[in-house]
Structure 1
């Protein structure tokens, strides 16, 4: 039998999917050049990088925390990969596992600060955001790292069967694996229980430190993978790339229905929110809005969505309380 929470989830996801389809249809009608292979293919290359960052934030928000350092982790992993590629010669392929190890290590540091030192996640990851960005600046000494081996940037422009961009395939695989990890593994179940009620989870015997370590390490690895995708697409590594992505990935998770208080969130919702915001961003481009106007729009949407959710939750919980009190 479907629980009320699952029923509400399905209804929300259906509404989000319907909104995505409606925006797609409106843009196709309003802008003749929108529904072309070139534009759709371009979007397929663009959104996987911030889509992966949104997936990286998802498990941390389900746990009741947040990771503000994902963009910095992605940039640092890309920088390490670029350094290894440029100096590794025939061993340049080791850049990919090296970047993933760096991402996992950065995530483990976040987990240590949160689980062992008991720092609030928002403050711990805000501090590591500055730390990782600073390390990246020290390594690059300011300018971007360029001159990568030719084989790697080619990965950023390859389309499988000349139709499906390789970064899009990477995004889809990560989404499937993360969805399976959250729903079909003991860690995923413990993650949701811990996010819903940390005190009850501790009394139930859930080992909080190891759980948080695994959550933030996984987040760091996904962020590092996003950095590798960016590195292949732009053919350079920079410590301050994607400064506006942090707002975007948080907006994606909130729009996806992820609870900012923990305990709930779906990969399906994140994927739909990523596609919706990419459609909106492309539509604003066609309508000649600047990047600053897009940031203004996304910030406004985040405030509106959060306000609507808070008001809806207040109404949802206050009504049964008042009825019970009247009886």
Structure 2
């Protein structure tokens, strides 16, 4: 019987089911991830765990892994503040990607689709075990059963997935007077797609949808460009990937994720336009996914409202449209702030 709960050893791979012992499991990960140096054996460890119990609980061991030039994949399961229904503030993770920012040789991704995960892992194996880079990876994955689309055929999707940003879906309404750019990550990408449909059908706003697979990659690249430009005065300035990619996009940018608002806001100086960030600052709650996303204001209706508000600030629509939308969408404007309530 071959299942994840049945333990057996094999020369071509092992599954270690260590139970609720993140520190011990991380030590196993480090042992496997440094075997290339200590024993001359390349192993590819995958440590799969509740994402809340990674950086928050064993951050010092993750830092030690980085210091030891460990290689492998940390997989934060049931990730995001709203994907794990019913388990409350102890289990709902909305900040592990923020805690991943300081680790210099860690590449952190919040993929939305199966093909994104495949591309990231494929490239990670090549970089670590073919090119010999001393890096390791953090991927967040969810537990929500959702339909997975095929990889788009237009544009350099592979490059965008690995660098952190690409256009997943362009609006077909080329003659629309109102335009907006919606940025989604992880499970909240599906709320973004719903919002785009509502904005186009009900409010006449043509929306391009962008997948942000890694705010950390975009942040690191932008700062690399800034540093190079500072040290090379008089030479042609380097332009951050996020700026290059979005330079022709029209309208405000609205970014929504299952993590803290500071992630999109970390890119604000390099986004060529107004950026509105929606995120899940605050403690988790024991509720279903729809209620959690409403509470944290990252569901489709709040993305719609944020987009209309941004268009009003740019004088593209009147504030009366936004006021009506509050009523039409069933939003409670006087509800408590989820970040502190």
What's the TM-score bracket when you normalise by the shorter of the two chains?
A: under 0.3
Higher relative contact order (CA 8 A, sep 6+): 1
More helix by percentage: 1
Q: Return the TM-score normalized by structure 2.
A: 0.27
Normalising by structure 1, we get a TM-score of: 0.27
